[in-house]
Amino acid sequence: MEEIKAATARLDPDEQFELFCWWVDSDTFKQRQLAALNRDIALGLDQLGRGAYQACTEARLRYLCYLLST
């Protein structure tokens, strides 16, 4: 992994961007992202089933929107 990081660091910015785009478009990346999403959904459903959640008030929602906009 360190060799890959070192080789990537030697690329110029355009080549790094091209490599990044290739990785994001790869099936491996998509499978990893989908697996992570499935884990997050399963965790959320488990928490919901156990009652481990907080209702979202309008004030909390405004605060979250503020955080996302900064």
Question: What band does 70 get if pLDDT is binned at 50, 70 and 90?
Answer: confident
Biggest alpha carbon–alpha carbon distance for the chain: 50
Query: Residue 55: its pLDDT value, please?
Result: 87
Q: Is the dihedral of CA 3, 7, 10, 16 positive or negative?
A: negative
Q: DSSP states of 10-59 as a string?
A: TS-HHHHHHHHHHHHHSHHHHHHHHHHHHHHHHHHHHHHHTT------HH
Number of domains in the chain: 1
Tokens representing 61 are 């929602």
Domain boundaries, position 55: 2-69
Q: pLDDT digit string (tens) for 4-44? A: 999 999 999 999 999 999 999 999 999 999 999 999 999 99
Under 8 Å between Cβ of 13 and 21: no
